Amino acid sequence: MTKLLGDLEPVYVVGAGWHRYQRLSQVGYVDLGLTAVRGALDDAGLAWGDVDESFIGTGHLGMAVGRPMLKHLGALGKPLVHVENASASGSAAFRLGCVHVAAGISDVALVLGVDKPRSIYRAPTGTHGLADDAIVPFTHFSLLSGAYTAASGVTDEDLAQIAVKNHRNGSLNPNAHRQQERTLEEVLGGRRTAGSLTSLQCCPVGEGAAAVIVASAGAIARLGIDPAKAIRVASSATVTETTTSSDQEVTREVIARALHEAQTPPSEVDVFELHDAFTIEEAQYVEASGIAPPGKYVPMLKEGAFDIGGQCAVSTSGGLLAMGHPIGPTGVGQIGEIALQLRGSAGPRQHPGARVGLAHMVGLGAVGYAHVLRKD
Amino acid sequence: MTKLLGDLEPVYVVGAGWHRYQRLSQVGYVDLGLTAVRGALDDAGLAWGDVDESFIGTGHLGMAVGRPMLKHLGALGKPLVHVENASASGSAAFRLGCVHVAAGISDVALVLGVDKPRSIYRAPTGTHGLADDAIVPFTHFSLLSGAYTAASGVTDEDLAQIAVKNHRNGSLNPNAHRQQERTLEEVLGGRRTAGSLTSLQCCPVGEGAAAVIVASAGAIARLGIDPAKAIRVASSATVTETTTSSDQEVTREVIARALHEAQTPPSEVDVFELHDAFTIEEAQYVEASGIAPPGKYVPMLKEGAFDIGGQCAVSTSGGLLAMGHPIGPTGVGQIGEIALQLRGSAGPRQHPGARVGLAHMVGLGAVGYAHVLRKD
């Protein structure tokens, strides 16, 4: 039988750092990445020499970008590897870092997500006809929005409220790409991308970086890391699509596994960072997680259940809609946000009493990741 | 203290498969990869459903290429992740697969390397002046060749014999990019790439795929895998450069770690697949490994010490020089070659009595990997 992360040695997130997510600029990726790494090391109170191994999630940057970045901190001979799983690249890098620390291969692992936007290259498959009906994400999620509103009786305005909430959260986050509160009228009035979707209901894909430090209990003691900063990674789950599964079904499966492994019912989740690249996704995935019953997401949203201070604060960071989605950093930044929330260090966007967090990403609708973090 | 692979549960290579390494063709990467995966599954006597997790090493293919490839085998919901470490991408994927099986996260992992040549993209660092003196690999290794011959008194012809040996081995390997024996005159007479280096002393970078299946002892018993096919992964080591280290120093360090972990002196290594992208690298790295004393590589080469049937058969596959170096597949194919050799299944290129194998790759001169395999 295979083991779960929780069957191995306990793993903790002990530091988090960011470079603000933003529009493509003249700043090099090396500066983006190093800003996040230095922030995470400072936050953990660690030096570069304390890190045993580095996992770098990136989707856009091309070959071997870790070397010229990390050697600025000192070329110490420590292992590094680059990881890519489309939108879930950072989540994949985080899982690998957790597994290596939990297995004892490393005591302290750096997980870094860094990217600058670039037209996405995917090698041609050399097979024909399998994807003739493929549609672009805008259209796909617009169609899903239409199906959801038709089935549940909610309105386009209801779904647009998701963007209002997440932009409000993003306005409280100095690392967010979008830091401006938006009214319902502004969200609905923006440029239409497809069907009922407007631009503020679609995430910005810019540049940025996020880093977290993962450590064992032994390293926390040995290196004198503040135990109050150590947030336990209670579970790690990843699945890919099955023959017929949708993003929502991948999400249902992977979150169910992560919650089961963490022995956590959905009702215990205090903060939830999820893959809200489009507003409809938040509705679908909150229902897929079990935090809202099927069809109940919108009524709960209207009651404030997903606000900071509500039943379960969803996307306190601003989510992909306001925090942004620079690909490599996204999944790492989610973990960092949850760590801050569970420490009680999230400043003006702090969700009171947060003790359990859930992070979720989907890569290209095919690869799902979910992690549960818990304040011991 | 951090653990080594050998401190965890034993891990075995139980299957290997290839798509021939070759010049860029019209064959899609999906066909290349699937040919290798199906070969490895057949070799192990396993079905796709037996695989718990997949690690895909690729340098050229871009985003999320595993999905449209592996779903041809059945979309079963199992995890997959893409790994990149330049020339060592396949080696990095293999190490991750081994760690996951050794830690119990997976019982059976697929490690696949697949690539098609494409101009390499590396994001601009945004920093200036650090690499103004960078030179292309041809020139770099030509200069190293000159330094080696000047210091040791060997000749350019001596180093060219490395290409003769490796092309002879490659002529016995149906998966090699170059399958033609070459005389010393042919090697020396080819197009000059830089200084004394000729084209047959430089590896071809084409397309191809290699796959290996890694399994736990429990999986071998449960799935009825032939124990005679199971080759123990005795150690796994990876380092990056330090401030002043060269490729040879990275190699010395990482091989020393792998041999130490495997409790294997260099004299016990029977087969050695190494990063011979240029002839000079074989001389440097065989000496760095301790298999030849410093300055003694060429005399031993002339005595046939590194031939199939010699003291330690170096690059029985043909090495990068003849087998080829399609990037993603290279490090995976080395492991497969060693597994065949240790099983005694390498056909006309079998090294008699092979029981210990060493695989070594360097990514961009900065990231080194070494694995020791042992026939129990």
Say if the Cβ atoms of A241 and B68 lie within 8 Å.
Answer: no
B89 found inside a domain: yes
Contacts of B49 in chain A (CB under 8 A): none
Does B160 have pLDDT greater than 90?
yes
In a domain, A150, yes or no: yes
Is B81 close to A80, i.e. CB distance below 8 A?
no
Instruction: Render B307-355 in DSSP notation, one character per residue.
Output: STTSSSEE-TT-HHHHT---STTHHHHHHHHHHHHHHT--GGGPPTT--
For residues A342 and A368, membership in a common domain is answered with yes
Closest partner residue to B77 among A84, A122, A253, by Cβ?
A253
Residue A151 to chain B, least CA–CA distance (Å): 28
Q: Are residues B145 and B43 in the same domain?
A: no
Most B CBs within 10 A among A11, A65, A67, A214, hence the mutation to make, goes to A67
**Most A CBs within 10 Å: which of B240, B245, B257, B261, as the mutation test of the A interface?**
B240
| B147/B65 same-domain check | no
Which of B10-19, B203-212, B213-222, B238-247 comes out lowest in average pLDDT? B238-247
What does the alpha-carbon distance between residue B107 and residue B347 come to, in Å, rounded to a whole number?
30
Determine, yes or no, domain membership for B259: yes
| Angle A196-A198-A199 from CA coordinates, rounded to 5° | 155
E strand segments, A37-179 = 53-57, 80-84, 108-115
Task: Sort residue A80 into left (φ over 0), alpha (ψ -120 to 50) or beta.
Answer: beta
pLDDT above 70 (res B360): yes
Q: Are residues A308 and A238 in the same domain?
A: yes
Q: Kindly state whether residue B191 falls inside one of the protein's structural domains.
A: no
What residues of B are in contact with residue A26 (Cβ under 8 Å)?
126
- Is the same domain home to A28 and A62? yes
Please check the confidence at residue B131 and state whether its pLDDT lies above 70.
no
Asked which of B229, B262, B293 is the last residue of a domain, the reply is B229
pLDDT exceeds cutoff 80 at B209: yes
Residue B47: predicted pLDDT: 98
Q: Which of A1, A2, A60 to mutate against chain B (most B CBs within 10 Å)?
A: A2
> Residue A85's beta-bridge partner residues?
A87
Using an 8 Å Cβ cutoff, are B82 and B66 in contact? yes
Residue A95 maps to a domain: yes
Per DSSP, what are the bridge partners of residue B303? none
Quickly state the pLDDT bin for B129 (edges 50, 70, 90): low
Angle among Cα B129, A57, B76 to the nearest 5 degrees reads 150
A367 domain residue, yes or no: yes
Number of cross-chain residue pairs from A and B with Cβ atoms under 8 Å apart: 219
Question: What percentage of chain B exceeds 70 in pLDDT?
Answer: 98
Kindly list the residues from chain A whose CB atom is less than 8 angstroms away from the CB atom of residue B99.
99-100, 103, 105
CB nearest B123 (choices: A8, A29, A75): A29
Q: Which structural domain, as residue segments, surrounds residue B97? A: 5-118+205-229
> Confidence class of residue B220 from pLDDT cuts 50, 70 and 90?
very high
Say yes or no: ipTM exceeds 0.85.
yes
Chain A residue with Cα closest to B28 = A126
Whether residue A244 is contained in a domain is answered as yes
pLDDT-based confidence at B103, cuts 50/70/90?
very high
Boundary (domain end) residue, out of A179, A213, A231? A231
A220 and A264 inside one domain: no
Q: Are B2 and A122 an interchain contact pair (Cβ–Cβ within 8 Å)?
A: no
Here the CATH number for the domain that contains residue A248 is 3.40.47.10
Q: Is residue A200 part of a domain?
A: no
Residue A100 and residue A108: Cα distance in Å, rounded?
9
Mean pLDDT of B366-372: 96
User: A123–B253: do the CB atoms touch at under 8 Å?
Assistant: no
Smallest CA–CA separation between A307 and chain B, in Å?
33
Lowest mean pLDDT among A3-17, A113-127, B32-46, B152-166: A113-127
- Would you say B85 and A64 are in contact if contact means Cβ atoms under 8 Å apart? yes
Q: Residue holding tokens 């989510």?
A: A319
What's the confidence (pLDDT) of residue A54?
Answer: 98
The answer to whether the CB of A371 falls within 8 A of the CB of A94 is yes
What is the number of domains present in chain A? 2
Tell me the shortest Cα–Cα distance from B202 to chain A, in angstroms: 21
Cβ distance of A79 and B28 shorter than 8 Å: no
Q: Are B354 and B269 in contact (CB under 8 A)?
A: no
Q: Are residues B256 and B340 in the same domain?
A: yes
Dihedral of alpha carbons B30, B32, B35, B39, sign = negative
Same domain membership, residue A70 and residue A214: yes
Give contacts of A61 with chain B, Cβ < 8 Å: 122-123
Chain B residues within an 8 Å CB radius of A328: none
Low-confidence residues in chain A, pLDDT < 70 = 128-134
- Looking at chain B, the number of H-run helices and the number of E-run strands are 12, 12
Contact state of B106 with A60 under an 8 Å Cβ cutoff: no
Supply the pLDDT for residue B133: 55
CB nearest B253 (choices: A68, A77, A99)? A77
Length of chain A: 376
Report residue B305 as tokens: 């010490």
Say yes or no: A182 and A296 in one domain: yes
> A166 and A30, same structural domain?
no
Dig out the tokens for A324 from the structure. Answer: 């942004």
A177, A22 contact by CB (below 8 A): yes
- B63 to A121: CB separation less than 8 angstroms, yes or no: yes
Rounded CA-CA distance A43/A178 in Å is 24
pLDDT band at B376 (very low <50, low <70, confident <90, very high): confident
Give the rounded percent of residues in chain B with a pLDDT score beyond 90: 90
User: Within this chain, do residues A141 and A154 fall inside the same structural domain, yes or no?
Assistant: yes
Weakest-pLDDT range from B6-20, B62-76, B256-270, B294-308: B62-76
Residue of A nearest to B123 (CA): A61
B214 CB neighbours in chain A (<8 A) are none
Is residue A344 domain-shared with residue A248, that is, in the same domain? yes
In angstroms, the CA B64 to CA A231 distance is 31
Please say whether the beta carbons of B31 and B6 come within 8 A.
Answer: no
Give the C-alpha separation, B246 to B362, whole Å. 11
Average pLDDT, chain B: 95
